Structure 1
Amino acid sequence: MTLTQDWLERLVAHPTVSSDTNLPLIGEIETALANAGAVCERFYDATERKAALLARLGPDAPGGLMLSGHVDVVPVAGQDWTVPPFSLTRKNGKLYGRGTTDMKGFVASALALVEAIDVESLAAPLWLAISYDEEIGCVGVRQMLEEIAARDILPDLIIVGEPTSMQLGLGHKGKIAFHVKATGVPRHSAEAPLALNALHIATDFITGLRKLQAEIEARGSREAGYSVPYATVHVGKLMGGTAVNLVPDHAELLMECRMMAADDPLALAEQVRKACATAVALHKERFKEASIDIEITGNYPGHSIDGDHPVVQAFAACLPKAAKECRLSFGTEAGLFAQALEVPVVICGPGSMEQGHCPDEFIEETQLAICDTMLAAAVIRFCTSRGPLGSHVPKQMYGKM
């Protein structure tokens, strides 16, 4: 077993779903980092049951490299697992367990690298930024980011290690999440035409959203490299009504917009509000009670960086020659880092999101090995000109550099 695989086994053993504490895992990581010579600081949430962790190896100086990862995972409840989700299972070159791909595999590789580094050889700092509650809207990184920005910590490059199959991720979409409440007028269903069905208001609103989606597809901004190269408007849940013989006076829906980095999120939110106003106007003349209230429940920015940026090119040299550029439809913390610090940010990590969030989530051992090699090369490129790896590091960590 490699050092990275050993770390992955330790990380998976902590069931760090967002509803639970992550402090035992953060404590284990912090102890290991401190023993390796890192200066560590925690950033707690309001309950003090969860914390983000910022660690620095090497000098307190400008530049260097920052590795970013989250250690929270999605729940396993209701999923049909054939292996224990919180225990690492090895089978046919694959490592199974919740979070192996998203994204404890990258964190394990980073921790293994830290334990292998000769700290004295670092001419520039190596930072680790480990967050919580990424899975519920990139929540847990924000306080830590505020402190990083306030202290003018400006690395030459930030690598967000979300799963890209070790391809060079140059961007991802942003997101706005909405909670929508429609109000109508109740009545017995025998006289339904005399009432205002809140579900009907909600579906009128959904019809307006479908028109908005068509307009975006026809005339909205586009960015090549995405499976859907324009913004999307999506309703994921519609709720309302208590009995078939009662016209419901309340309905709720949960929806989101995912937009390109170049899109104005406030303008897109305004278009959603206009669709709301149009749906209400259809009924307002007959029913003054008709209304729709919209609450934004979460958001994070998109991200885009030019593959020709010199720092990106320097990082690309650390990747296997077969690595391609890609852009991610799912969200990451990269946009928040780029927005807060205004430094180059790329997304690159082991595994594929096709396995993330699924039962029997797994990562291939070969992906971890490629990540080990990439991180070792990146530290040499961005943190030292002398080579930071001690003689006890397995050759496979740097044999292809």
Structure 2
Amino acid sequence: MDLLYRTEELLGELIAFPTVSADGNLDLIAWAANYLKDLGAICDVTLDETGHKANLFATFGPEGDGGLVLSGHSDVVPVEDQEWSSDPFVMDDREGRLYGRGACDMKGFIACVLAVAPRIAEWPLTRPVHIALTYDEEVGCFGARALVEDLRARDIRPAMAILGEPTMMRVINGHKGCYEYTTHITGCAGHGSAPDHGVNAAVCAARYAGRLMELEGELRTRAPEGSPFSPAWTTLNIGRIHSGHAHNVIPDHAEIDWEMRPVQRSDAEHVLAEIDRFAEEMLPAMLSVHSEVAITREVIAETQGLHPVKDSEVATIVSALTGANGLDVVAFGTEAGLFQSLGMDCVVCGPGSIEQAHKPDEYVSRDQLSACLHMLQGLEKHLT
């Protein structure tokens, strides 16, 4: 069977699984595990603590360390409040483009990997090839975090990883991290005419936000020399501040949603240490009015960045197979930093454009799938 045609068939099946992060991915994982088991892969399925989501880690070839991971996340973003021209969970073929939720982010890559899997099963591998499908990338990379910890606990150490996020088959060897937080401020309600009798959570939130913006200014001066990113420094953003109910009521609660995208871990450590110290300095004045006030910083997600490395074997291999003239960095985050933390040499390279991700009428082109298939098939000479 023509490999591209088979990829399209598999992509249609993958899109038909509505694996929105909030709803789980068990049906897709069970289907993929059965498919790979039938080809002779050793498959490990691990559930999350809810039992509604799972990772799949499948292995072809010899046991032991080294080898290559081909990784993709199985979850997709919601389609509610989006205007699609066709059913988002039924693949639509139009003018060389295959439409559907997850088509490029990132079921197109997964379909390519599954289409090539029967050939991988027949390669005389001298190093293992692993296929990893994770959950909850879209809401914090929780599946990849669990997978990396599981591999660490089992003392499994792959040498390389290709993460197939949509890059138009450009070879990406770096991206910033993404750290997201919600700070909750508990004050003491009261009448607006007697401000000294309450603890105004909105005012506290404004002071906290002001300190964040001071730190944002400091980060601009901390850009590493030769930083490949744009902007070159760690960025900090306040996305939402919520507090209060009426003009004349002292609000007793406030929330601040904020994020930073560090180019280096030391920037994140600096920001967190400084903002937590600032919160501690605010508390005595608040406690002098009421004993049950609090400032708590909730971690929503802490996704590590992918740090460019010199003399990368996987970058050399993938660049040769794709014809790339150089390596790039991107602004969006991936699971690659988590794999890198286990000692893997990682690149991000996959079919489709990030410009299509998360949008209505998401698509991947046949040309991009063909290019990905060419790259995956070319791995044989590097692994046998």
Same fold (TM over 0.5): yes
User: Equivalents in 2 of 1:100, 1:271: separation in Å?
Assistant: 42
1:133 aligns with 2:128: no
For residues 12-53 of structure 1, give each alpha carbon's deviation from its aligned partner in whole angstroms, at most 9, with x where no partner exists.
110001111311111111111112221111011122221110
Counterpart in the other structure of 1:63: 66
Counterpart in the other structure of 2:120: 117
For residues 27-82 of structure 1, give each alpha carbon's deviation from its aligned partner in whole angstroms, at most 9, with x where no partner exists.
11111111222111101112222111011112224432210111001111122222
Counterpart in the other structure of 1:397: none
Q: What amino acid is the match of 1:336?
A: L
Counterpart in the other structure of 1:339: 341
Q: What amino acid is the match of 2:357?
A: G
User: Equivalents in 2 of 1:361, 1:181: separation in Å?
Assistant: 36
Structure 1 residue 117 displacement after superposition: 3.4
Output aligned runs, 1:2-401, within 5 Å.
Answer: 2-117=5-120, 119-191=122-194, 195-221=198-224, 224-263=227-266, 265-277=268-280, 284=286, 287=289, 291-321=294-324, 324-340=326-342, 342-381=343-382, 383-384=383-384
User: Equivalents in 2 of 1:156, 1:144: separation in Å?
Assistant: 15
User: Equivalents in 2 of 1:368, 1:97: separation in Å?
Assistant: 15
User: Equivalents in 2 of 1:220, 1:271: separation in Å?
Assistant: 18
Contact 2:72–2:165 (Cα < 8 Å) also in 1: yes
Secondary structure class of the residue paired with 2:21: coil
Structure 1 residue 163 displacement after superposition: 1.5
User: Equivalents in 2 of 1:260, 1:223: separation in Å?
Assistant: 12
For residues 107-150 of structure 1, give each alpha carbon's deviation from its aligned partner in whole angstroms, at most 9, with x where no partner exists.
11111110233525223221101111111111112332223223
Secondary structure class of the residue paired with 2:220: helix
Secondary structure class of the residue paired with 1:254: strand
> Which deviates further from its counterpart, 304-313 or 9-18?
304-313
Contact 2:99–2:361 (Cα < 8 Å) also in 1: yes
User: Equivalents in 1 of 2:267, 2:222: separation in Å?
Assistant: 14
Contact 2:352–2:365 (Cα < 8 Å) also in 1: yes
User: Equivalents in 2 of 1:170, 1:105: separation in Å?
Assistant: 20
User: Equivalents in 2 of 1:223, 1:24: separation in Å?
Assistant: 46
For residues 334-393 of structure 1, give each alpha carbon's deviation from its aligned partner in whole angstroms, at most 9, with x where no partner exists.
1111112x1211111111211111121111221111111111112332x21xxxxxxxxx
Q: What amino acid is the match of 2:201?
A: A
Q: What amino acid is the match of 2:348?
A: I
Does the C-alpha gap of structure 1 residues 291 and 26 become closer, same or farther in structure 2, counting only changes over 3 Å? closer
- Structure 2 unaligned segments of length 5 or more: list them: none
Counterpart in the other structure of 1:393: none
Does the C-alpha gap of structure 1 residues 164 and 65 become closer, same or farther in structure 2, counting only changes over 3 Å? same
Q: What amino acid is the match of 2:93?
A: R
User: Equivalents in 1 of 2:381, 2:333: separation in Å?
Assistant: 29
Secondary structure class of the residue paired with 2:142: coil
Does the C-alpha gap of structure 1 residues 352 and 245 become closer, same or farther in structure 2, counting only changes over 3 Å? same
Contact 1:223–1:260 (Cα < 8 Å) also in 2: no
> Which deviates further from its counterpart, 56-65 or 329-338?
56-65
User: Equivalents in 2 of 1:48, 1:195: separation in Å?
Assistant: 44
Identity %: 37
Structure 1 residue 275 displacement after superposition: 4.2
Q: What amino acid is the match of 1:337?
A: F
- TM-score, normalised by the number of residues in structure 1: 0.87
Count the aligned residue pairs: 380
| CA RMSD, Structure 1 to Structure 2 (Å) | 2.3
Counterpart in the other structure of 1:390: none
Does the C-alpha gap of structure 1 residues 18 and 171 become closer, same or farther in structure 2, counting only changes over 3 Å? same
User: Equivalents in 2 of 1:222, 1:287: separation in Å?
Assistant: 47
Contact 1:221–1:262 (Cα < 8 Å) also in 2: no
> Which deviates further from its counterpart, 155-164 or 51-60?
155-164
> Which deviates further from its counterpart, 108-117 or 174-183?
174-183
Q: What amino acid is the match of 1:347?
A: V
Does the C-alpha gap of structure 1 residues 358 and 311 become closer, same or farther in structure 2, counting only changes over 3 Å? closer
> Which deviates further from its counterpart, 346-355 or 173-182?
173-182
Contact 1:170–1:307 (Cα < 8 Å) also in 2: no
User: Equivalents in 2 of 1:363, 1:109: separation in Å?
Assistant: 12
Structure 1 residue 221 displacement after superposition: 3.4
Structure 1 residue 225 displacement after superposition: 2.9
Contact 2:314–2:347 (Cα < 8 Å) also in 1: no
> Which deviates further from its counterpart, 126-135 or 270-279?
270-279
Secondary structure class of the residue paired with 1:141: helix
Secondary structure class of the residue paired with 2:109: helix
Q: What amino acid is the match of 2:376?
A: L
